[in-house]
């Protein structure tokens, strides 16, 4: 889509709006999500098209092209060991993770101006095309909202249609709360993402970096949703909710805190107990929800190794006319 000059249009209600605000390149990229890329002229746009097509096979019966890679597939990324803040409420930039994983740090961002709380992009790992779906903690804490769910679901379907393996990078505290989300049908829109993952047959790897809470944890491709391998960093928090929230909701815990001589100390004690027993990747691994807890610095080589192992994956859907996608 191209950026055009300002033109004033009068709507049926008499309101004056510019052509750009009504349906120009910027509004379609940022507000409606109808467009996924934006160029200032023909040359720039055609270069984007050429770059995009380089990640895809010629047709849906082929696998994506593999390019010679100069970047070492066993490259360690020491900075990953300290990239997650100690404060669970502090944000970091997920793009730094993606660029660290990608060959030579190169990514092709898809719909980057729309629903910024989730990232959808193409990268190469050891020369192989990989579609990445990642929560972005810098925007709305990485929560899944209506637009984020639609954006991610469409990307998942596109990857599956063209045999592109998918990497899901998870740091999600939940679905976005609020009346706008509830009245807009967040359950229906969120279900589109679950549906897309469930129907996908390409290799799928999920890596949990920090928060993986509640229904959103499932929505970001957990084991039951179809992930072939789930890796977790030591900073991962896999649970129904955060420890502080659990302390305020679980009735038995609330009762103990209320009856305690020192409610503040008792609350701290219960939060630490919850984190030790439930809110960590080791408990999830023990129960089979996580395949391995890895050192963050080894993330690139572990993901590449996982996709190499899954290269011959054969999966077919149950025989049926078609599924009933939640529209």
Strands 118-125 and 107-110: antiparallel
Q: Which of 72, 62, 202, 51 is nearest to 125 (CA)?
A: 72
Tell me the mean pLDDT in the region 65-83.
96
Q: How is 218-259 classified by DSSP, letter by letter?
A: HHTT-GGGT-SEEEE-TT-EEESS-HHHHHHH-HHHHHHHHH
> pLDDT class for 253, splitting at 50, 70, 90?
low
Q: For the segment 262-305, what is each residue's pLDDT rounded down to a tens digit?
A: 777 777 777 777 777 778 899 999 999 999 999 999 999 999 99
In the structure encoding, which two tokens stand for residue 63, read together?
Answer: 């696998």
> pLDDT class for 310, splitting at 50, 70, 90?
very high
pLDDT of res. 105: 97
314 vs 23: which has the higher pLDDT: 314
Domain boundaries 60-242+279-309, corresponding CATH code: 3.90.226.10
Instruction: Provide the percentage of residues in the chain whose pLDDT is more than 70.
Output: 93
CA angle 65, 68, 70 (to 5 degrees): 140
What contacts 81, CB < 8 A, 6 or more positions away?
295, 296, 297
Q: Which of 90, 276, 278 is nearest to 171 (CA)?
A: 90
Largest CA distance in the chain: 71
> pLDDT class for 248, splitting at 50, 70, 90?
low
**Residue 120 CA from chain centroid, whole number:** 7
Q: For the segment 180-239, what is each residue's pLDDT rounded down to a tens digit?
A: 999 999 999 999 999 999 999 999 999 999 999 999 999 999 999 999 999 999 999 998
110 membership: H or E segment, kind and range:
strand 107-110
Domain segments of the chain: what residues?
Answer: 1-53, 60-242+279-309
What contacts 280, CB < 8 A, 6 or more positions away?
236, 237, 238
Q: Distance between CA 69 and CA 52 in Å, rounded?
A: 18
pLDDT of res. 321: 87
In whole angstroms, how far apart are CA 267 and each of 29, 89, 253, 255? 46, 18, 8, 11
Tell me the mean pLDDT in the region 108-127.
97
SS3 label, residue 292:
strand
pLDDT of res. 2: 42
Q: Distance between CA 213 and CA 174 in Å, rounded?
A: 6
272 vs 127: which has the higher pLDDT: 127
Q: Which of 49, 51, 54, 50 is nearest to 64 (CA)?
A: 54
Asked whether 307 and 203 are in contact (CB, 8 A), the reply is yes
pLDDT of res. 241: 77
Does residue 148 register a pLDDT over 60?
A: yes
pLDDT of res. 262: 78
> pLDDT class for 26, splitting at 50, 70, 90?
confident
Does residue 4 register a pLDDT over 60?
A: no
Does residue 8 register a pLDDT over 50?
A: yes
β-sheet bridge partners, residue 238 = 212
Q: Distance between CA 195 and CA 283 in Å, rounded?
A: 27
Q: For the segment 128-142, what is each residue's pLDDT rounded down to a tens digit?
A: 999 999 999 999 999
Q: Exposure pattern of 235-263 as b/e (b: 16+ CB <10 Å)?
A: bbbbbebbbbbbbeebeebeebbeeeeee
Q: For the segment 87-98, what is each residue's pLDDT rounded down to a tens digit?
A: 988 999 999 999
């Amino acid at each position: 889509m191209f950026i055009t000059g300002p033109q004033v249009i009068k709507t049926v209600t008499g309101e004056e709006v510019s052509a750009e605000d009504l349906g120009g390149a910027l509004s379609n990229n940022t507000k409606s999500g109808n467009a996924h890329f934006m160029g200032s002229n023909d040359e720039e746009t055609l270069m984007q098209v050429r770059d995009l097509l380089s990640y895809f096979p010629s047709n849906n019966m082929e696998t994506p092209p593999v390019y010679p890679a100069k970047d070492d597939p066993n490259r360690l990324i020491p900075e990953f060991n300290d990239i997650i803040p100690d404060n669970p409420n502090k944000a970091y930039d997920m793009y730094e993770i993606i660029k660290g994983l990608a060959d030579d740090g190169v990514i092709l961002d898809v719909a980057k101006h729309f629903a910024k709380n989730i990232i959808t992009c193409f990268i190469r790992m050891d020369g192989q095309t990989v579609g990445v779906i990642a929560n972005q903690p810098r925007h709305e804490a990485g929560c899944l909202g209506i637009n984020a769910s639609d954006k991610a679901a469409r990307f998942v379907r596109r990857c599956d249609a063209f045999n592109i393996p998918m990497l899901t990078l998870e740091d999600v505290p939940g679905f976005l709360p609020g009346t706008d989300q509830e009245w807009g049908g967040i359950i229906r829109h969120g279900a589109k993402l679950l549906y897309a993952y469930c129907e996908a047959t390409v290799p799928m790897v999920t890596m949990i970096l920090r928060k993986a809470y509640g229904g959103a944890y499932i929505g970001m491709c957990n084991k039951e949703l179809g992930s072939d391998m789930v890796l977790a960093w030591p900073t991962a928090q896999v649970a129904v909710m955060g420890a502080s929230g659990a302390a305020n909701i679980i009735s038995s815990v609330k009762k103990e805190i209320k009856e305690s001589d020192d409610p503040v100390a008792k609350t701290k004690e219960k939060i630490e107990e919850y984190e030790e027993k439930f809110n960590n990747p080791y408990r999830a691994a023990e129960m089979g929800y996580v395949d391995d807890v890895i050192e963050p610095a080894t993330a690139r080589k572990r993901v590449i190794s996982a996709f190499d192992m899954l290269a011959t994956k054969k999966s077919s859907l149950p025989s049926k006319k078609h599924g009933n996608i939640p529209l």
